[in-house]
Structure 1
Amino acid sequence: MKLVIFGLTFSSSWGNGHATLWRGLCSALTRQGHHVVFFERDMPYYAMNRDLFALPGGELVIYPDWSSVQSRVQRELREADAAIITSYAPDALAATDLVMSAGRALTVFYDLDTPVTLSRLRRGEAIPYIGPRGLADFDLVLSYTGGAALEALRDDLGARRVVPIYGHVDPDVHRPAEAMPERKFALSYLGTYSADRQGALDELFTAAARARPDLRFVIGGAQYPQDFPWCPNIFFLHHLPPTDHPAFYGSSRLTLNVTRRPMVDLGWCPQGRLFEAAACGVAVLSDAWAGLETFFTPGNEILVARNTADALAALELSDAEIRRIATSAREHTLAAHTSERRAHELIAALSATTPMPARDELERA
């Protein structure tokens, strides 16, 4: 298939989780013989933190504004089998109009931020990447979140057919690696700062660090405010590109996963960091959310913490027990949660989708 994608970013992993997911998925798609053209608007904050400049085996089109690329989009759509518009794509609405009017490719919306989308909808806030007709005109809607989110996308936004495409990992990028030189930590956390994660991060990470001043802790990420509650045994590394993630994970006995509040409220929304750390052979300590057991077995493949006491108990586990959990999680991840697996799921969903009549035909009817 030829897939034309309009996304937030492919070229920069700074401050977002989209880029790493798209890189793994597009790499798998091209290996499977598909052709991908990815359109990304050249945003200043990504341009200053760009860590990839091409889409191997496909085409990455970085453009300054929609008018400058519209004719190129029209040419690519003439031969496309599917056009995929994603949440937070800066020109999602313009791309939607053009894709719908082209009338050849399957029209697909992929919500990589479903909990945020539904939360904004229920608060009556505007959703900048979804137009006034909701999702009713798309042949297929893909969701990063499963469970009740799938029904909500149908009932609240009019999606005709919804299929979950969960997070995943590219094991060629995320694999066991040597720890960063002279760095060994009891617990690590990798993630962009988010206010709606801060309560859980305080409970499971900073409180644990204060309770165990004899241990070393480390945070890696971007956009952390000056008033973050640091303490002397918490170290900080600014934004790390995906190529440095394995060494970061390998520098700690355990790594922490903290989920954004809208994702916790909805459930069934595994972050890519879960699969990345597991593929790197590092045991994960996660906050609790509905559906977690669908992806990893608590106590066997993942540790779950609901409070500081749980986090401290996890730090007391023996090296042998932590290695056993890490090994089990890695085996499960490589069998069920790779980018290769998700690429097959995506193509299967596209192949099983029947195109709707063109939007202008629906409006005339």
Structure 2
Amino acid sequence: MQLESPCRFNLYAVWLPIAHNLQLTTNAFLDDFLGRGLQWITDCRLSINIDSISSFSCKLITYLTETSALIKACLLMYFSVDRVYSVYRSDRITPTTGLWVARLGVGLSYSMCMIFSIPQLIYVDRVTGNDGRSSCEYVDPLAPGVKYVLYLYIIGATMFPSLLIFVTNLCIIFRMRTFNTHNKLSGACDRKAAIEFGKVITHLAISVLFSCLSFPLVILIILRQQLHMHNYQETRPDYAKKIVELSRLFSSIDCINYACDFYFYIAFMPEFRKTLVRVFKLDRLAITHSVTLKTTISSVDSVSCSDFQLNRTVRTPGKTRDYTQETLVDCVRTGL
């Protein structure tokens, strides 16, 4: 869709899945499924902790996980502001204007988030516990650098994006309600407006899901940080274990944020559905029916042309002119 008709919405939709796939690969598959899900499925007989194999794997997986979450939040904030601007300035701008601004925002989001997440490579490492088991965690949970990366995720990747997205959603809903009321009174029905309305609804669905699933995880991250501050692992081990398990559970649930965009596009965007059908050639039956119909019409017309051709030979004294070739061209044109 971006190649056929470039626009800002498609640009965001192209770059968001890159962060989503990183998150699903590193967090959902490597950590949640292979690390904990496989252990639960096999009744604790098998588990593959990729992030605990070496220090490099621990640092890399943690860095990619946190960076992709931060990129998703930044892109969604930028996306939300763009949607508000598009809705309130729909009479002055089109979906294709300001592409360079969208590209700049995408580039800054990726580059700045990768730079801000570099401390993850410093403070996280492979740690061996008293029981001899290795795990990937922060070496010193109370270090200033660890607090920085935690607050970066809590504030930069969840709380501030959720607040901004909530405000922009209210602005969009208010504007769309006014727009729909105006259309009902005037009886207007514009196809382009309907397409843009589908994009707005898609964005609202993505952003609302992000806010609902991210906020509980933030609370649990704060509670988990308090475990280290008050040494609850020693004084209240049962409470500490529950908080750790809940944080892991909601971390897995949060991955739903990164797997539902495709279904929102199908549900609310007719143009996406048409493009999907065309890409996967699901409309082959309709094309075959159309070709068969055209072939039948062409056959009927060619029969009429053949009958007509018999009467198109003109004889003149000393010269006979044959119109067969010209008539054949006419027949082909008529058939098509």
User: TM-score under structure 1 normalisation?
Assistant: 0.25
Give 1 or 2: higher helix fraction: 2
Larger Rg: 2
